[in-house]
């Protein structure tokens, strides 16, 4: 019985090490890929363009992507440029959503 417990503990230990190494390899491959570098370059270009155009760029905490924000003329709440109504005061912001 004692040998079985030791075997299970060792198996769990080596499985944890295996998955830790696998995670590191996958993250390294994703971060150093040409696609990841291209995405970082595009993001920097878009952020600089938004800064030059005078647009506030906020990073969405969930998706880590920037989006444009406009202030509601009625309450001043930050709304997306695609919003038709202010999510705070329900004031109509524009006639049609931007595509």
Contact present, 70 and 81 (Cβ < 8 Å): yes
Tokens standing for 82? 């695609």
pLDDT at 62: 47
Tokens standing for 88? 């705070």
How many independent structural domains does the chain possess? Answer: 2
- Does some domain include residue 5? yes
Residue 33: which residues within 8 A CB-CB, separation 6 or more? none
Return the SS3 of 53: coil
Using a cut of 0.75, tell me whether the model's pTM lies above it: no
- Does some domain include residue 77? yes
Same domain, 36 and 74: no
Kindly report, residue by residue over 78-93, the tens digit of the pLDDT: 777 778 888 888 888 8
Taken as a whole, the chain contains a residue count of 99
- Does some domain include residue 63? no
Largest CA distance in the chain: 74
Segments forming the whole domain that contains residue 7: 1-54
pLDDT at 93: 81
């Amino acid at each position: 019985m004692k040998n079985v417990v030791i075997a299970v503990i060792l198996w769990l230990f080596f499985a944890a090490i295996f998955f830790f190494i696998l995670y590191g390899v996958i993250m390294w491959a994703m971060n150093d890929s040409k696609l990841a570098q291209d995405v970082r370059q595009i993001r920097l270009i878009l952020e600089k363009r938004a800064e030059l155009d005078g647009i506030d760029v906020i990073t969405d905490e969930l998706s880590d992507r920037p989006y444009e924000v406009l202030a509601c003329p009625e309450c001043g709440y930050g709304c997306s440029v695609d919003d038709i109504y202010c999510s705070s005061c329900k004031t109509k912001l524009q006639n049609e959503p931007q595509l």
